[in-house]
C-alpha cells in the first residue's frame, strides 16, 4: 500500500469536507435525532459510497482517456465555473 497516497487522500478529503453542506446536514440530523449513532453510521456510509463511486469512475476514465485530455477538460470546466461566478447575472437586480 502507498502510505503517502493514503495520507494525502485522507487529508485532501478531510479538509475539503470541513464545513461542507454534508457536514451541516449531519450536524442538523445529529442534533434533532434521538439516535446520533445512526446518523453517524448513515453519513459515514454515504461518504464511503460517494468516495467509492468517485474512485471507480476516475479509474475507468483514466483507462479510457489520456491523462492530458482529462486534465484539459477539468481545467476548462473549472475556468467556466470561475467565469460564471465572477460574471454578474444580467437579470440580477443591482445591489444597494
Q: Are 29 and 39 a contacting pair, CB within 8 Å? A: yes
Residue 42 in domain: yes
Hey, what's the cell of 18? 470541513
Is 80 inside a domain boundary? Answer: no
Please indicate, yes or no, if residue 88 is contained in any of the structural domains: no
- Percent with pLDDT over 70 in the chain: 93
Q: Which domain holds residue 26?
A: 3-65
Return d(Cα 10, Cα 59) in angstroms, integer.
18
Number of folded domains that form the chain: 1
pLDDT digits (tens, 9 = 90+) for 7-41: 999 998 888 888 888 888 888 999 998 999 999 99
Amino acid at each position: 500500500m502507498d502510505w503517502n497516497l493514503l495520507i494525502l487522500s485522507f487529508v485532501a478529503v478531510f479538509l475539503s469536507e470541513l464545513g461542507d453542506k454534508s457536514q451541516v446536514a449531519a450536524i442538523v440530523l445529529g442534533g434533532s435525532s434521538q439516535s446520533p449513532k445512526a446518523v453517524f453510521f448513515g453519513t459515514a456510509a454515504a461518504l464511503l459510497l460517494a468516495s467509492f463511486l468517485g474512485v471507480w469512475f476516475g479509474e475507468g476514465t483514466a483507462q479510457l482517456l489520456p491523462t492530458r485530455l482529462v486534465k484539459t477538460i477539468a481545467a476548462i470546466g473549472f475556468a467556466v465555473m470561475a467565469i460564471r461566478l465572477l460574471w454578474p447575472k444580467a437579470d440580477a437586480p443591482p445591489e444597494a
